[in-house]
Amino acid sequence: PNKPNFLNFLKTSKIFILSSCLLFHQYHFVDQRLNWTEAQTYCRQKYTDLATIETSEEMDQLMETVSSAGYKSGFWIGLYIEINWRWSDGFSGSFTGNSYETSVNPSNCLSDQICMIVYWHSEHHHWSDSNCSSVFPFVCYNGKNFSKTHFIAKYYNSNL
Residues forming beta bridges with residue 15, ordered by sequence position: 155
Q: So what's the pLDDT on residue 95?
A: 61
Query: Is position 45 within any domain?
Result: yes
Residue 67: give its domain's CATH number: 3.10.100.10
Query: Is position 1 within any domain?
Result: no
- Count of domains observed in the chain: 1
Q: Do the Cβ atoms of 19 and 151 come closer than 8 Å?
A: yes
Query: Is position 53 within any domain?
Result: yes
Query: Is position 48 within any domain?
Result: yes
Query: Is position 46 within any domain?
Result: yes
Query: Is position 125 within any domain?
Result: yes
- Containing structural domain, residue 139: 24-147
Q: So what's the pLDDT on residue 120?
A: 76
Q: So what's the pLDDT on residue 141?
A: 95
Question: 62-87: per-residue pLDDT in tens?
Answer: 999 999 999 989 999 999 987 788 88
pTM of the full predicted structure?
0.69
Q: So what's the pLDDT on residue 84?
A: 81
Query: Is position 152 within any domain?
Result: no
Which of 57-66, 94-103, 131-140, 145-154 reaches the highest mean pLDDT?
Answer: 131-140
Query: Is position 78 within any domain?
Result: yes
